[in-house]
Amino acid sequence: MTINVLFFASLKEELGLESMTLDVHDSFCNRAELLELLQNKLGRERIAPLLMENVAIAVNQTIEKADFTVQTGDEVAFLPPITGG
């Protein structure tokens, strides 16, 4: 199945990428697994900004603090710390 991965603000700039589709093997996905899949696609160096502890992950626009599940077509976003309005 396929999910849509989005990158925002500084992460978008550092990766040089706004969004991509990613094949995920089953319905379970956690942060480590997701990063591994991205590393296979983009390379270790390029995904380095995503490894920062203060980077949050949102699944379908809800922040996920622990493990999460995804379904095909889900939107998974990497968010750097927000600045506020």
Query: Which residues are at the interface with another protein (CB under 8 A)?
Result: 6, 8-10, 58, 61, 77, 79-85
CB of 48 to another protein, least distance (A): 16
CB of 63 to another protein, least distance (A): 9
Residue with the two structure tokens 């976003």: 77
Q: Pick the closer one to another protein by CB: 32 or 82.
A: 82
Paired tokens of 75: 């939107």
Q: What is the DSSP letter of 29?
A: E
Q: Pick the closer one to another protein by CB: 6 or 22.
A: 6
d(CA 13, CA 37): 20
CB of 12 to another protein, least distance (A): 8
d(CA 38, CA 85): 30
Number of neighbours of residue 22 by Cβ within 10 angstroms? 17
Q: Pick the closer one to another protein by CB: 39 or 75.
A: 75
